Copies of this chain bind each other. A is one copy, B any other.
């Protein structure tokens, strides 16, 4: 890769391109992993990822993640790793902006296929 192709990215300018909730976009790729961003609002589906751990970092807003026996509440500047195989259901009352680290193989709805499933996530 030429140095000319190495450029910084402003995260807010990427979030400004997102108009839909629960529709993650790829903002960087490295070491077989994706850095994704997404806006969430409302309820997602309970699911798990067989082989992938998932890193959720809240950039703005408040994200709830329901597990089997507790609910995590993440505010701006807080993160969590959801290990592979662990059922989790993200939801939020108001709009929340989230940064994700996860393997390129990760399907947003994991073991569930429904209206939220996006198998061809775009790079922005």
Interface residues in chain A, defined as those with a beta carbon under 8 Å from any beta carbon in chain B: 1, 3-4, 6-12, 28-31, 33, 35, 52-55, 57, 67-70, 72-74, 77-83, 86, 101-103
Contact = CB atoms under 8 A, between A and B. Distances in A.
So how many copies of this chain end up in the complex?
Answer: 2
B28 A81 contact: yes
7 nearest A-B pairs in the assembled complex, by CB-CB distance: A30-B53, A8-B80, A3-B67, A1-B83, A8-B78, A8-B74, A11-B77
Contacts of A79: 8-9, 11, 28, 35
5 contacts: A3-B68, A4-B70, A8-B79, A30-B81, A33-B33
Contacts of A7: 72, 80
